[in-house]
Amino acid sequence: MTALTQFPITDRWPPRTPGAIQLYSLATPNGVKISIALEEMGLPYDAHLVDFGRNDQFSPAFLSLNPNNKIPAILDPDGPGGQPLALFESGAILIYLAEKSGKFLPQADRYEVLQWLMFQIGGIGPMFGQLGYFHNYAGKEIDDPRPKERYRAEVERLLKVLDKALEGRDWIAGDYSIADIAVGPWLRGLRDFYKAGDLVGWDALRNVPAYLERFLARPAVQRGLTQPART
């Protein structure tokens, strides 16, 4: 814990477990990517709730770690060279944790895993999020149908790309990987929280629904989905 005292965020969210990775997050699709990864990899961590209802993400303490005011972010007291590492952006964190643990980023399929990870980061995440906003949140009050339709059509297209890639495969890049850890929470969010399945032809997909169920059945996924716990 001494090594982390140089980081102001630890004044607001004190470490509970000496030497553990400190996770600052919320149980959103982007947030649970990291708690799931930590559970799957067996890395010790403390999960700290960044409460959007209290605007924690705009607090000076959180901004000292992530100036982009987004979750998730981590502090690893045992980073490269034994020095503390502060890191934000979920994709970067997933790659770092995979390399640290030696799990879910196999050398043989490294670039296939990374391409599907980037597919989630550049396509699935922002497009699913925008559709959710216009379909189930404040954007649904907008009368103009064009924004919602733009994102609906793109989400449907992305799902078809994913569905085709999963033909004959249990996992998107062969073996289970950080690409699946990135994609799975967003599929769950689209279906269960945005309630947009009917809009984008979910039931007509051949492979994606079963893929999501396989993902959600993993014990480490079930544990990670509950972190950080709401107080």
Which of 78, 103, 128 is the C-terminal boundary of a domain?
103
Which of 53, 77, 103 is the C-terminal boundary of a domain?
103
Q: In this predicted structure, what is the pLDDT of residue 231?
A: 65
Quote the CA–CA distance of 210 and 80 in Å, as a whole number. Answer: 38
Instruction: Assess whether 128 and 59 both reside in one domain.
Output: no
In degrees and rounded to multiples of 5, residue 87 shows phi and psi of: -150, 135
Tokens of 222: 């079930």
Q: Which residue has the tokens 């959180």?
A: 62
191 falls within a domain: yes
Instruction: Assess whether 66 and 84 both reside in one domain.
Output: yes
| Strand ranges inside the chain, DSSP E | 21-25, 45-49, 73-76, 85-88
Q: Is 1 a residue whose pLDDT tops 50?
A: no
The total domain count for the chain is: 2
188 falls within a domain: yes
Q: In this predicted structure, what is the pLDDT of residue 130?
A: 96
pLDDT-above-90 percentage for the chain: 92
Instruction: Assess whether 17 and 60 both reside in one domain.
Output: yes
- C-beta neighbour count of 11 within 10 angstroms: 11
Domain interval for residue 41 = 2-103
- Categorize the per-residue pLDDT at 194 as very low, low, confident or very high, splitting at 50, 70 and 90: very high
Instruction: Assess whether 7 and 95 both reside in one domain.
Output: yes
Structure pTM?
Answer: 0.96
Quote the CA–CA distance of 128 and 192 in Å, as a whole number. Answer: 12
Q: pLDDT tens, 129-156? A: 999 999 988 888 888 999 999 999 999 9
Q: pLDDT tens, 69-119? A: 999 999 999 999 999 999 999 999 999 999 999 999 999 999 999 999 999
Residue 53, CA atoms < 13 Å, CB-side half-sphere: 5
What SS3 class is residue 188?
helix
Which of 103, 131, 152 is the C-terminal boundary of a domain?
103
